Amino acid sequence: MRFGGLTAVRSVDFTVNAGEIVGLIGPNGAGKTTFFNCLTGLYVPTEGTVSYQGTVLPPKPHLVTKAGIARTFQNIRLFANMTVLENVLVGRHTRTKEGLWSALLRGPGFKKAEKASEERAMELLDFIGLAHKRDHLARNLPYGEQRKLEIARALASEPGLLLLDEPTAGMNPQETRATEELVFAIRDKGIAVLVIEHDMRFIFNLCDRVAVLVQGEKLVEGTSDVVQADERVVAAYLGEPFDGGTDDTTAETEAESTTGTTSTKGEAQ
């Protein structure tokens, strides 16, 4: 993914298995959120493709979500003036078949689908511990609960792969621990999870594998012990020169939207 003369992501690919948590770390500007934006259709890769479970995905967020990839955002993107329940119901839209005429006529099929969606939404609210706040406006929730609600909305689309962009940003230690337990619970449901995070203690405790992105390229990938022991990772975080075999300047543009295997082939993967 290039922005003018800046290369933000170059030849990055991942395999994330069902029921596995993989972390994506790297210094600011390494290309992490840009990579997520390529995966979820917010950006059209300058070169290469994005594929999921062997199928090349079109660069359209709603089609990516329908294919089974959901995400949260670095900056919370809830519908502030909608209730907690309504926010989760929004995430169900790719899994319902009722169209405009069905909604206008409000026949038996529509009512049945609406009831099923609400039941599923309540299951998810119970899962994250917010069922008792179903009628609260999203804007009135504490920060940590807003983060949880965004995860519930993503889960409402029944993803096989969940992308979490800095899920503990701005949280206190208790909220961070609660988020860790929630991600483990999601993993236990067989969902693959890919997490961007700057909290190293959180990421190394959480993940089965960790990949390090530096200057838009994947530097190393392995277990927490392998990554922490890699001198190149230490150098990257200390700001020492990194010899990645390219003179291209790299940058990351922070922008946002919406298991198995994800990959992009070529310049962005």
What is the C-alpha to C-alpha distance for residues 34 and 252, in angstroms, rounded to an integer?
6
The neighbour count for residue 4, using CB atoms within 10 Å, is 6
pLDDT at residue 256, as a whole number: 40
User: What is the domain range of residue 193?
Assistant: 2-78+159-265
Does the structure show a pLDDT above 80 at 147? yes
The tens digit of pLDDT for each residue in 224-242 reads 999 988 888 888 876 665 5
Choose among 207, 199, 251, 210: nearest CA to 233. 210
Structure tokens at 235: 């150098």
Q: Does residue 107 belong to any structural domain of this protein? A: no
pLDDT at residue 268, as a whole number: 37
Q: Does residue 206 belong to any structural domain of this protein? A: yes
Q: Does residue 55 belong to any structural domain of this protein? A: yes
Structure tokens at 36: 């997520």
- Contacts of residue 124, Cβ cutoff 8 Å, sequence gap at least 6: 88, 152, 155, 156
The tens digit of pLDDT for each residue in 100-136 reads 545 555 666 667 778 888 999 999 999 999 999 999 9
The neighbour count for residue 34, using CB atoms within 10 Å, is 27
pLDDT at residue 48, as a whole number: 87
Q: Does residue 144 belong to any structural domain of this protein? A: no
The tens digit of pLDDT for each residue in 168-211 reads 998 999 999 999 999 999 999 999 999 999 999 999 999 999 99
Alpha carbon 61 to chain centroid, angstroms: 12
Number of domains in the chain: 1
pLDDT at residue 212, as a whole number: 94
pTM, two decimal places: 0.81
Q: What percent of the chain has pLDDT over 90?
A: 59
pLDDT at residue 2, as a whole number: 92
The tens digit of pLDDT for each residue in 54-81 reads 899 988 999 999 999 999 998 889 999 9
Q: Does residue 99 belong to any structural domain of this protein? A: no
Does the structure show a pLDDT above 70 at 143? yes
Q: What percent of the chain has pLDDT over 70?
A: 82
Q: Does residue 151 belong to any structural domain of this protein? A: no
What is the C-alpha to C-alpha distance for residues 100 and 85, in angstroms, rounded to an integer?
22
Residue 19's CATH number: 3.40.50.300
pLDDT at residue 107, as a whole number: 63
Band (260; pLDDT cuts 50, 70, 90)? very low
Name residue, tokens 């670095």. 74
Q: Does residue 218 belong to any structural domain of this protein? A: yes
What is the C-alpha to C-alpha distance for residues 69 and 154, in angstroms, rounded to an integer?
9
Q: Does residue 132 belong to any structural domain of this protein? A: no
Q: Is residue 25 within 8 Å of 224, Cβ to Cβ?
A: no
